[in-house]
């Protein structure tokens, strides 16, 4: 009841507050955000919120247009000029902004739009990958699986496609395909990216999974972390990570990098927790997820993989 009342008050008070601030600062809400908030998640998330709450017809049309480019799979980097130039121009016109006086705003709002809709496009792309089930009759799927083995166990030949050897890298049985059902091809793509792009970190984590006392099933844990990364992306929590990465816009590779960060950090927590056995996995995993969500809740957080040498 209280929440509903507050929502109603916000609906009526927000335009009044915006009008007052516009008159006193001579800046629209988007300008105040772009000039006042730190670049990255603090700025982009507030710009997104402002756009979504806008009642201006032209702004709503910009949102619909950008959403359509994502839904119709026309959202590509090569097409950014055609996508964003008209959108920025409409926002500037709708908000009556003088480009000559506010050139930095044009740069900032464009970057925010690129981040917001790159993220939305990524959500769709990740969802599509998750829905593709691993198919042992698909040569490309099989090639990726065998490449994963060669990257993680470069000094040992796989005796056959179906083999108990797979358990050495943390699959449950003789054929890994059954373990990918929940997250589909996304789980395999995540593991493969970790092994290929971060060979030192993945080797480090795999060695921990073989620890005689604190060992765990590397691949199965990896697929569980794919599920975590997927839901953090879907509910918007991952925006902090994605928007604070200055070198990249949200895309599938950045999602993979987010996954790699989660895997490396989970391994650290697992070892530091000194579990009695694998039965403690659920408790530690939930503790890890809560810690990640708490960190992501701070829009100023920046995430990096920092390799540490240990002697456990």
pLDDT tens per residue across span 163-172: 999 999 999 9
Q: What pLDDT was estimated at residue 219?
A: 98
Residues 87 and 185 in one domain: no
Residues 148 and 269 in one domain: yes
Residues 102 and 231 in one domain: no
* Residue 237, pLDDT above cutoff 80: yes
Q: What pLDDT was estimated at residue 122?
A: 98
Residues 212 and 109 in one domain: no
d(CA 2, CA 145): 53
Provide the domain count of the chain.
2
Residue 312 located in a structural domain? no
Q: What pLDDT was estimated at residue 99?
A: 87
Share of the chain above pLDDT 70, in %: 90
Q: What pLDDT was estimated at residue 287?
A: 97
Q: How many CB atoms lie within 10 A of CB 162?
A: 14
Do residues 42 and 240 make contact, with C-beta atoms less than 8 angstroms apart? Answer: no
Do residues 190 and 226 make contact, with C-beta atoms less than 8 angstroms apart? Answer: yes
Do residues 38 and 32 make contact, with C-beta atoms less than 8 angstroms apart? Answer: no
**Domain span at 169:** 133-296
Residues 115 and 52 in one domain: yes
């Amino acid at each position: 009841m209280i929440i509903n009342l507050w929502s109603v008050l916000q609906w009526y008070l927000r335009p009044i507050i915006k009008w007052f601030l516009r008159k006193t600062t001579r800046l629209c809400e988007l300008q105040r955000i772009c000039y006042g908030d730190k670049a990255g998640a603090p700025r982009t998330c507030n710009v997104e919120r402002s756009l979504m709450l806008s009642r201006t017809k032209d702004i709503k049309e910009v949102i619909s247009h950008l959403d359509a480019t994502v839904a119709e799979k026309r959202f590509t980097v090569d097409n950014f000029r055609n996508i964003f130039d008209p959108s920025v121009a409409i926002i500037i016109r709708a908000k009556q902004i003088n480009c000559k006086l506010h050139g930095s705003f044009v740069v900032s709002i464009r970057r925010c739009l690129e981040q917001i809709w790159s993220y939305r496009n990524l959500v769709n792309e990740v969802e599509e990958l998750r829905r593709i089930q691993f198919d042992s009759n698909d040569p490309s799927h099989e090639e990726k699986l065998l490449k994963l083995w060669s990257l993680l166990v470069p000094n040992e030949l796989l005796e056959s496609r179906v083999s108990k050897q797979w358990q050495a890298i943390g699959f449950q049985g003789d054929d890994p395909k059954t373990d990918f059902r929940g997250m589909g091809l996304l789980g395999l793509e995540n593991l493969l990216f970790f092994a290929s792009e971060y060979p030192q970190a993945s080797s480090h984590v795999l060695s921990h999974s073989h620890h005689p006392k604190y060992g765990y099933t590397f691949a199965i844990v990896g697929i569980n972390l794919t599920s975590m990364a997927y839901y953090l992306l879907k509910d918007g929590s991952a925006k902090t990570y994605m928007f604070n990465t200055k070198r990249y816009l949200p895309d599938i590779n950045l999602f993979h990098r987010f996954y790699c960060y989660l895997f490396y950090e989970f391994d650290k927590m697992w070892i530091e927790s000194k579990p009695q056995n694998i039965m403690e996995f659920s408790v530690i995993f939930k503790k890890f997820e809560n810690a990640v969500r708490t960190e992501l809740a701070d829009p100023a957080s920046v995430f990096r993989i920092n390799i540490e040498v240990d002697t456990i």
